[in-house]
Chain A
Amino acid sequence: MSAETGLGGWIDGSAGGVNAVAWLVALALVVAAGTFFLAPGLAAYPLGAVAIVVAYGWLADEATTARTLGLAATVATVSVLGLITIYLVAKSLPAFRLMGLDVLTKTDGTLWASSVPVYSLVPMIWGTLLATLIAAAIAAPLGIAGAVFISEMAPDWARSLLKPAIEMLAGVPSIVYGFIGFALLNQFMADEFGLPTCGSLFVVGCVIGAMALPTVVSVAEDAITSVPGQMKDGSLALGATGWQTTTDITVPAAFSGVSAAVLLGVGRAVGETMAAVVILANVTELPEPLYDVFGNTITLTSLIASQYDNASGTHMNALFAAGVVLFVTVLGLSLGSQYVERRMQRKLGGSG
């Protein structure tokens, strides 16, 4: 066991001694990567060498080779992620240097203009927040209700029909949703409610909510279905009704999965770009009043997507700053969901 704790020990673990195969494969990979960056034209040769070494390793000691390759893949993934983060932060620094914390806090006067220059992300953060809240308000209740219906109430034939249908919806490209939102919903809102401007955060929220719906339904349904039947039997066998069992036993037992479903859906809403780009006009001021969901204030993603084309200098850096804010938000959401899940598991697992 102790030999497996260190990195070297991990690689040598199976054989117990220094394992030549592991080092050979690792060396080949490092040489190949180095050549790729330093002299891309020559990279084919070390890559060929890697293939040969791996083939040899696979025959000589399959387990060690697989472990080494697995380690290499993990290291590559993690370092790519790290490099992206560093690049993102580094590129956004000039914007922070120009604006100070005002990037995140300035709320009066001109908020976004490359001619001044002034870059405050407050309107976009607010727009993202509103769109996300609307999307969550639509996707969470509808999605959970749908999941409960499919898993607990629907007859078998309906379930076998609904589940794949809903999963197929998740595969519809977001631009299609965005376009439908723009062409249909937008028009409808404009005609029926006489909105002054075309396109609004409300429509974006609705469209993103609809987009997130299949994910929420499908993930939440899996969670609810995986609650052991015995547990439900225990409730039913003592005379609780089916509905009581669903609300008090099944759904709470699946809570971590259901909340993960909602957070996944909301996470998608935060990062969703195309629908917002298609629907929203390019307004970079806060809505007036603040809660006016029929304004056109753009979101963080649509800001980047619609402006990077003709941005340069600090303007570009400010867009990177928007990227950083998004990155941190999504990271926070995923950490939050993990925290919720762990807490629920402790509560459900009974160790707490």
Chain B
Amino acid sequence: MSTTQTEPGDRDDRTTAAETDEAIDPEWTEYGHGGRTKLAVENLNVHYGDDHAIDDVSLDIPEESVTALIGPSGCGKSTFLRCLNRMNDRVKAARVDGSVTLDGEEIYGDDTDLVELRKRVGMVFQQPNPFPKSIRDNVAYDPRKHGDLNTGLLARLFGRSDGENEDELVERSPRNAALWDEVSDRLDDNALGLSGGQQQRLCIARCLAVGPEVILMDEPASALDPIATAKIEDLVQDLAEEYAVVVVTHNMQQAARISD
């Protein structure tokens, strides 16, 4: 299982450092990378009540690269990811201080458009969470909502339906997520009928369909067999051609394989 690295890899040491440390380690920031900084995290602290989950983390995430986060269970990896697109706003107990900038713009400002931010910074959760809808609707849901696809009643009435684009999208995203062969003949079945691993890939496909600039993946391969895992790893590396990808994983080898 050989994978190509999209950038000269010199940051594997970060992951080793992180393993020994309880929280995400500031040392990680000491690395060199070719790309421009996409997301810059500075002095990020997260508290859940009295529980200090993330302690003063600073980290640059370059564009067109893969950044792997690794660490023991409960050390705050998911929490960190959620900070990057402000999903922690939805967790009542969480208090976030510090600064995260996306392309130089502060995302923890009062006037940040959360919807816009999350369109640009997409997220795949640790637990697969498909919508209780058909597989097709799962993939096309957010693009439809963003107005990238006009398949609503009005659009159809005015003959501006993007049915073809949708079909194309509904094929391309699952294909990229190594899911297409398993679902191509059951696109209209309910997504909850898929296996856990298939659901996980569907959630990845759903995220790809939106076409974000940064993709946050929380253990995208935790429920996958080695073959699907390899496909996802390949996918992650392909994605790095275009996107900034942040991956949480528990697997050192995997981190070494995919990260830059």
In Å, the complex CA distance between A101 and B115 comes to 62
**Nearest-CB distance from A305 to chain B (Å)?**
44
Q: Is the CB of B142 within 8 A of A238?
A: yes
Closest to A241 in B: B115
In Å, the complex CA distance between A232 and B119 comes to 15
Asked if B220 is at the interface of the complex by the 8 Å CB criterion, the answer is: no
Asked if A174 is at the interface of the complex by the 8 Å CB criterion, the answer is: no
Which of chain A's residues 310-341 have a Cβ closer than 8 Å to chain B?
none
Closest to B126 in A: A230
Residues of A within 8 A of B191 (CB): 350
Which of chain B's residues 110-148 have a Cβ closer than 8 Å to chain A?
115-120, 122-123, 125, 127, 129-133, 141-142, 145-146
Asked if A239 meets B210 with Cβ closer than 8 Å, knowing A231-B131, A248-B145, A249-B131, the reply is yes
Q: Is the CB of A239 within 8 A of B119?
A: yes
**Nearest-CB distance from B20 to chain A (Å)?**
31
Secondary structure class of chain A's binding surface, majority of residues: helix
Residues of B within 8 A of A253 (CB): 131-132
In Å, the complex CA distance between A242 and B163 comes to 26
Size of the chain B interface, CB-CB below 8 angstroms: 34
B184-198: contact bitstring with A at CB < 8 Å (1 yes, 0 no)? 000001111110000
Interface residues on A, range: 20 to 34
Q: Is the CB of B189 within 8 A of A350?
A: yes
Asked if A240 is at the interface of the complex by the 8 Å CB criterion, the answer is: yes
Closest to A344 in B: B132
Which of A235, A236, A237, A350 is the one whose CB lies under 8 Å from B194?
Answer: A350
Residues of B within 8 A of A244 (CB): 145
Q: Is the CB of B142 within 8 A of A348?
A: no
In Å, the complex CA distance between A231 and B133 comes to 11
Asked if A62 is at the interface of the complex by the 8 Å CB criterion, the answer is: no
In Å, the complex CA distance between A349 and B191 comes to 9
Asked if A233 meets B129 with Cβ closer than 8 Å, knowing A240-B115, A248-B145, the reply is yes
Q: Is the CB of B142 within 8 A of A349?
A: no
Q: Is the CB of A236 within 8 A of B127?
A: no
Q: Is the CB of B85 within 8 A of A237?
A: yes
In Å, the complex CA distance between A230 and B123 comes to 12
**Nearest-CB distance from B54 to chain A (Å)?**
19
Asked if B87 is at the interface of the complex by the 8 Å CB criterion, the answer is: yes
Q: Is the CB of A237 within 8 A of B122?
A: yes
Closest to A245 in B: B145
Residues of A within 8 A of B92 (CB): 156
Asked if A97 is at the interface of the complex by the 8 Å CB criterion, the answer is: no
Asked if A2 is at the interface of the complex by the 8 Å CB criterion, the answer is: no
**Nearest-CB distance from A36 to chain B (Å)?**
51
Closest to A237 in B: B123
Asked if B206 is at the interface of the complex by the 8 Å CB criterion, the answer is: yes
Q: Is the CB of A230 within 8 A of B127?
A: yes
A129-156: contact bitstring with B at CB < 8 Å (1 yes, 0 no)? 0000000000000000000000000001
Q: Is the CB of A349 within 8 A of B192?
A: yes
Which of chain A's residues 202-254 have a Cβ closer than 8 Å to chain B?
228-231, 233-241, 244, 248-249, 252-253
Asked if B203 is at the interface of the complex by the 8 Å CB criterion, the answer is: yes
In Å, the complex CA distance between A229 and B82 comes to 14
Q: Is the CB of A234 within 8 A of B193?
A: no
B164-207: contact bitstring with A at CB < 8 Å (1 yes, 0 no)? 00000000000000000000000001111110000000010011
In Å, the complex CA distance between A348 and B138 comes to 13
Residues of A within 8 A of B87 (CB): 233, 236-237
Q: Is the CB of B129 within 8 A of A234?
A: yes
**Nearest-CB distance from A85 to chain B (Å)?**
38
**Nearest-CB distance from A230 to chain B (Å)?**
4
In Å, the complex CA distance between A150 and B243 comes to 39
In Å, the complex CA distance between A236 and B210 comes to 12
Residues of A within 8 A of B125 (CB): 230, 233-234, 237
Residues of B within 8 A of A349 (CB): 190, 192-193
In Å, the complex CA distance between A349 and B120 comes to 31
In Å, the complex CA distance between A234 and B123 comes to 8
Asked if A238 meets B206 with Cβ closer than 8 Å, knowing A233-B87, A244-B145, the reply is yes
Q: Is the CB of B190 within 8 A of A238?
A: no
In Å, the complex CA distance between A237 and B117 comes to 9
Additional 14 contacts, C-beta under 8 A, given A239-B118, A252-B133? A233-B87, A234-B131, A237-B125, A238-B119, A238-B122, A239-B116, A239-B142, A239-B210, A240-B141, A240-B146, A252-B132, A349-B190, A350-B190, A350-B194
| Cross-chain pairs A/B with CB under 8 angstroms, 22 sampled | A230-B125, A233-B125, A234-B125, A237-B85, A237-B122, A238-B118, A238-B119, A238-B142, A239-B115, A239-B119, A239-B145, A240-B141, A240-B142, A240-B145, A249-B131, A252-B132, A252-B133, A253-B132, A348-B192, A349-B192, A350-B132, A352-B189
